[in-house]
Chain A
Amino acid sequence: MGTADRELMSASDVGRTISRIAHQIIEKTAVDGADAPRVVLLGIPTRGVTLADRLAEKIREFSGVAVARGGLDITLYRDDLDSKPPRALEETSIPVGGIDGALVILVDDVLYTGRSVRSALDALRDIGRPTSVQLAVLVDRGHRELPLRADYVGKNVPTSRNENVKVRLVEDDDVDGIWIAPDGGPKR
């Protein structure tokens, strides 16, 4: 991390927060109940997929239910493709059984303008028809440009638009933690 970066969550904070979200998902979806819905966790690459994997693992640990999980690349559905340099595609993996009739929980690291989520909703529409869609994020940093909200939030963080929230996870970055970089840092 850069020297000017401010730590927002430590490694143990991140672990605790993911566990809490897992508990909230179990409670809200009643995934271990009698007539439980079929829950599918779909991460938005890159770190959303990692988070979805960790959440699925925690849900299995706490409730004994193995929920399906996958990744949903939204690159082709973005609304800023023409104003940015070309970006590489990421892997899309839809679990066996698809998403028709399932309760899909989209998982992302940071909720900001809401445009990624909109793209993900568009992508879902082409893949199938879930019964309902929910959203889980590790950090909600505000500045929404679309009428969207998350169902599960790890931490609400007021930020300035100039700041940059960096989520780092061991699987992708060799370290767990969340930092805020002041203006001028590279945009993620």
Chain B
Amino acid sequence: MTVRHLLSAADLSRDEATAILDDADRFRSALLGRDVKKLPTLRGRTIITMFYENSTRTRVSFEVAGKWMSADVINVSASGSSAAKGESLRDTALTLRAAGADALIIRHPASGAAQQLAEWTLEEDGSGPSVINAGDGTHEHPTQALLDALTIRQRLGEVAGRRVVIVGDILHSRVARSNVALLHTLGAEVVLVAPPTLLPVGVRQWAGVTVSHDLDAELPVADAVLMLRVQAERMNGGFFPSVREYSALYGLSERRQEMLGEHAVVLHPGPMLRGMEIAFSVADSPQSAVLQQVSNGVHVRIAVLFHLLVGTDEVVSV
């Protein structure tokens, strides 16, 4: 059988993405109110997370997802592993494959790292661990897009036809890239709002998006607003004059929240810089789905592990 990976949200067809979202909802209801949050489905499988960048939500939710499915989850972080001694990503990956990993979940500062890992760890006979991209540089973060789509679907009933405004540091954001791809696949309208310096080259040619610099004009017609974190760690040089100016032009303040429709939902992938891209009171308001996103993150990742690691492509006759 062929190894199944999740490297990019753009690889998912509408049917595949919908199947993952449906299953995430099913897992949620299957685990709801249970004392024993444990399903036997991935018993005996080994999942290794490789985090070369800091993470709270993504790493924890992958670990929780694996453990609730009874898999053995092992965490490798760059600072605590041989990577700190100078071992290359390829050698680390081959070591982990040799140690028996069924799935490798990777976050890495280099765009394309997950793709590279999938190629390196493929055995000659076509077997090898499933690779899940948990964020590669400024490229993609597919499970984040899935959990955002799930949250939008739960709050608004449907993704297709909804208008989703993504605000902030689009240039450095893998969350934005994955969301644009997946939301487009699922039939939503996407509007990107950012200062010109924080928009990638060629953004106007992206499929299914419109670009704006005026947040106030977009808010009244938005069904969902996805605020992005300003990624200071990826910025060398001045992308905007001051934090205060950025916040005044592109921050979701209380004043701006009032411009939103009552049904509209506010999302943030976290970690939030309160007071910069989002006001304290907005982040904690009922309109904000930030914590719902986190619990959806667990269920979406359970569904992704289920889709990648369970079942065979071939139909075996009984």
Contacts and interface: CB of A to CB of B under 8 A. Distances in A.
Given A85-B312, A85-B315, A76 B307 contact: no
B318 A126 contact: no
Interface string A79-95: 00111111111111110
- Most chain A beta carbons < 10 A, residue from B23, B34, B40, B316: B40
Contacts of B33: 94
Interface in B6-42: 19, 22-23, 26-27, 29-30, 33-34, 36, 38-41
Contacts of A4: none
Contacts, number: 55
Contact of B26 (A81, A90, A94): A90
Contact of A85 (B22, B38, B313): B313
B212 to A, nearest CB: 39
B237 interface: no
B311 A73 contact: no
A114 B176 CA distance: 48
B109 to A, nearest CB: 32
A137 to B, nearest CB: 19
B23 A92 contact: no
B312 A92 contact: no
A13 interface: no
Given A82-B310, A83-B316, A84-B311, A89 B30 contact: yes
B312 A82 contact: yes
Given A76-B40, A81-B41, A127-B34, A91 B313 contact: no
A144 to B, nearest CB: 15
A87 B310 CA distance: 9
Contacts of A83: 312, 316
A179 interface: no
Interface string B36-59: 101111000000000000000000
Interface residues of chain B: helix, strand, loop or mixed (majority): loop
Contacts of A93: 29
Contact of B311 (A85, A91, A126): A85
Nearest to A83: B316
A92 B313 contact: no
B23 A89 contact: yes
A88 B306 CA distance: 10
Interface string A151-181: 0000000000000000000000000000000
A143 to B, nearest CB: 11
A91 B311 CA distance: 19
B39 A126 contact: yes
A126 B318 CA distance: 28
A187 interface: yes
Contacts of A91: 26, 29
Contacts of A92: 26, 29-30
A187 B307 contact: no
A122 interface: yes
A86 B310 contact: yes
Interface in B63-100: none
Contacts of B310: 81-82, 86
A126 B34 contact: yes
B40 A73 contact: no
A76 B311 contact: no
Contacts of A88: 19, 22-23
A122 B40 contact: yes
Between A73, A92, A122, the greatest number of chain B beta carbons within 10 A of the residue's beta carbon is seen for A92
B311 A87 contact: yes
Interface in B289-318: 306-307, 310-316, 318
15 contacts: A76-B39, A76-B40, A81-B310, A82-B312, A83-B312, A83-B316, A84-B316, A85-B315, A86-B310, A89-B30, A91-B26, A92-B26, A126-B36, A126-B39, A127-B34
Given A76-B306, A84-B316, 5 more contacts: A81-B41, A81-B310, A86-B306, A89-B23, A127-B34
Interface of B: 19, 22-23, 26-27, 29-30, 33-34, 36, 38-41, 306-307, 310-316, 318
